[in-house]
Amino acid sequence: MAEEPKEAGQTKPGFQNPVAGFGVTFKAMFKKRLTEQYPEQQKTTAPRFHGRHQLNRHPDGLEKCVGCELCAWACPADAIYVEGADNTDEERYSPGERYGRVYQINYARCILCGLCIEACPTRALTMTNEFELADSSRANLIYTKEQLLAGLEEGMVDSPHAIYPGTDEQDYYRGLVTEAAPGTVQQVAVSKGEKPEEEEVQA
C-alpha cells in the first residue's frame, strides 16, 4: 500500500515539543559523575579480574610449571611461547621430570581471555589483578619467565634446588610439602648461564 503524502509543514512527533529534545540532557545533569581520577587514584579491580599472568611456585620454592606447553596450545591469540627442558638431580626447577626453561607471553597479542589458565594441569599459571600493561615499546610487552615468576615467600628457597627428601612429584601436588627442607640450598643454574667448557680428552 502506498504511503499517504505528507502535508506541508508536517513534522515528526519527536520534534513537536522543543523541550523534549533536551530531556536526556536534563536527566544527566543531576546524576552522579562517573569521572575517575586515574592514575592519581588507583582503580580497584574485581576479585576475579583477568590481569597480568603469574607463574606460581610450590611452598618450598620449586616451580609448578612442567613445560607441557598446553597453555600455548590453548591460546587463541598465539601469544604464549614455552620451551621445556629436563630436570636433573644437579639442577632441579620443578618436582617432575621437566620444567619450563623458556616462558614468554606477548601482551601485544594477549586478549586476557584466561583459556591458558583452564588448560594448565598443574595450576602453575594464574592471573593477577595487575592491569597496567601499556608500554612505549613493543619489545617490552613480551614478558619473560623472570618477570612472570612469583616472588619468594617465607620458607621458600629459590630454584633450582633438590626436592624435599623422601617425597616425589605426587606429594607436591597433594600439598604434603609445605616448606623447604632444613638445609636446602640453591643449586648452580648451569643451563641458564654459560656452559662450562668441556675438558679436552687426552689421547
CATH number at residue 62: 3.30.70.3270
For position 33, what pLDDT does the model report?
A: 75
Regions of the chain with pLDDT less than 50: 193-203
* Residue 60 domain flag: yes
For position 58, what pLDDT does the model report?
A: 96
Can you give the length of the chain in residues?
Answer: 203
For position 48, what pLDDT does the model report?
A: 86
Instruction: Please report, in range form, the residues annotated as the binding site.
Output: 65, 68, 71, 75, 110, 113, 116, 120
For position 67, what pLDDT does the model report?
A: 94
For position 198, what pLDDT does the model report?
A: 42
DSSP reduced 3-state for 12: coil
* Residue 9 domain flag: no
* Residue 43 domain flag: no
* Residue 134 domain flag: yes
Strands, E, within 66-160: which ranges?
80-86, 98-106, 125-127, 142-143
Domain coverage including residue 134 = 53-153+160-172
* Residue 63 domain flag: yes
Q: Are 195 and 100 in contact (CB under 8 A)?
A: no
Q: Is the dihedral of CA 166, 172, 176, 182 positive or negative?
A: positive
For position 195, what pLDDT does the model report?
A: 45
The Cα–Cα gap between 114 and 116 comes to: 5
* Residue 3 domain flag: no
Instruction: Please report, in range form, the residues annotated as the binding site for [4Fe-4S] cluster.
Output: 65, 68, 71, 75, 110, 113, 116, 120
pLDDT in tens, 130-174: 998 888 999 999 999 999 999 999 989 999 999 999 999 999 999
Domain count for the chain: 1
* Residue 84 domain flag: yes
- 60 phi, psi to nearest 5 deg: -95, -5
* Residue 72 domain flag: yes
